Amino acid sequence: MKTHQVVTMEREEIKLVGFTIIESLNNVLESKIFGTLRENLAKQMDEIENRNGSGIYLIQIYPHEGQWTPDIPFQHVIAFEVTSYGEIPSGMITYIVPSGRFVKIIHTGAESQIGTTYDFINKSFGERPIDIEYWNDIHTLESDDGQIDIYIPAK
């Protein structure tokens, strides 16, 4: 049985620059759009002014009706953190994750196995308005020792 490291912490706001799509989870998984968006974002990383590191964030903002299913479209933001906003590259958006108290869950292993970590999160924490994933190195996402940090709002 897989164990999950869980830590509660305060986070400052996160300023992001990147891409956004509105799509259902099932369509995202079927189309593999995140891989394309990640690669496009990585190719354009030097165009993003005031970029803070090379890790990439995935923000998933769920509908507020509370009736979410994998077939219901919702907003996804895939982006780099910036220290401040400069000129935004064409086709990209800005997004701010507000400061607050978050629970950090660490997924260790291949990204393709992250469903088991989300099963744990859903069972342990229930519905939430947002999930934040942080990919420190997109080139190790499918390795057995890869790590994805997941942040969810603390209740």
Mean pLDDT by groups of 10 residues along the chain of 155 residues? 79 97 91 89 96 95 78 94 96 97 94 90 90 89 88 92
- Read off the CATH number of the domain in which 28 is found: 3.20.80.10
**By C-alpha distance, which of 21, 22, 123, 125 is closest to 72?**
22
| Domain that residue 11 falls in | 5-153
Whole-structure pTM value: 0.91
Encoding tokens for residue 45? 């990383």
Confidence at residue 155, expressed as pLDDT on a 0 to 100 scale: 81
pLDDT value at residue 142: 83
- Calpha distance 74→135 (Å, rounded): 20
pLDDT at residue number 3: 64
Our count of domains for the chain comes to 1
DSSP 3-14: --EEEEEEE--E
Burial of 37 (0-12, 13-18, 19+ CB in 10 A): buried
The predicted pLDDT at position 1 comes to: 47
